[in-house]
């Protein structure tokens, strides 16, 4: 179960990053966080930018709706997702994972 939490600006989405993967993709839930794989390596913020791009693409969001709040240099990160409620974000994540054949 994802640990989504409310924030005055939207919803906080915990993410477990997997930089240097073979493909950009959502990989499911791990320890309460959404596991996201990106092909970029973790250097000079490239993987963080790639994470934003993957989240925007997979969850049908605008990049401007996604802001990295914490975990800039760690695998465990928190992103602020603007303009959605917890239920709306949860539904988008469930739909995206279902399209990839990942059941929550």
Summarised one tens digit per residue, pLDDT across range 10-54 is 999 999 999 999 999 999 999 999 999 999 999 999 999 999 999
* DSSP character string of 40-68: S-SSTTHHHHHHHHHHHHHTT--GGGEEE
- Whether this prediction's pTM lies above 0.85 is answered by yes
Task: Decide if 1 contacts 19 (C-beta within 8 A).
Answer: no
Any idea how long the chain is? 104
Domains of the chain: 5-98 (3.30.1200.10)
pLDDT in tens, 67-86: 999 999 999 999 999 999 99
1 has pLDDT over 90: no
């Amino acid at each position: 179960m994802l640990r989504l939490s409310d924030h005055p600006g939207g919803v906080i989405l915990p993410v477990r990053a997997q930089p240097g993967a073979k493909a950009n993709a959502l990989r499911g839930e791990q320890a309460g966080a959404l596991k996201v794989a990106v092909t970029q390596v973790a250097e000079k913020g490239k993987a963080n930018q790639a994470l934003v791009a993957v989240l925007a693409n997979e969850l049908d969001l605008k990049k401007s709706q996604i802001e990295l709040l914490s975990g800039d240099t760690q695998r465990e990160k928190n992103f602020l997702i603007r303009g959605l409620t917890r239920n709306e974000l949860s539904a988008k994540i469930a739909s995206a994972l279902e399209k990839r054949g990942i059941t929550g």
